[in-house]
Amino acid sequence: MATTEYHEQQKRKHGIFATGSVVEAITGLGAVVLAILGLAEVLPVTLASIAVIALGVALFIKGGASMARYADLVAHYGSGSPEITEFGGGTSVEFLGGLGGIALGVLCLLRIEEVILLPVSVIMFGMVLLIGAGVLSRISHERLITTTEEPVTVRREAPVTIRHEAEEAMNATAGMEIFVGVSTIVLGILALVGYAPLTLVLVGLLVTGASVFFSATSVGARMAGVFAH
| 179-199: pLDDT as tens digits | 888 999 999 999 999 889 999
pLDDT at 144: 46
Sign of the torsion formed by the C-alpha atoms of 107, 110, 116 and 120: positive
pTM, whole model, 2 decimals?
Answer: 0.75
Residue 156 pLDDT level (bands cut at 50, 70, 90) = very low
- Residue numbers of the domain that contains 169: 2-228
Residue 195 DSSP one-character state: S
How far is it, in rounded angstroms, from Cα 89 to Cα 87? 5
- Helix, strand, coil percentages in the chain from 3-state DSSP, rounded to 5: 85, 0, 15
Number of domains in the chain: 1
What are the b/e assignments for 61-90, b being 16+ CB within 10 Å?
Answer: bbbbbbeebbeebbeeeeeeeebbeebbeb
pLDDT in tens, 40-64: 999 999 999 999 999 999 988 887 7
Residue type, 53: I
pLDDT in tens, 64-98: 766 666 555 555 555 555 555 555 555 678 888 99
Q: Which of 89-103, 108-122, 145-159 has the highest mean pLDDT?
A: 108-122
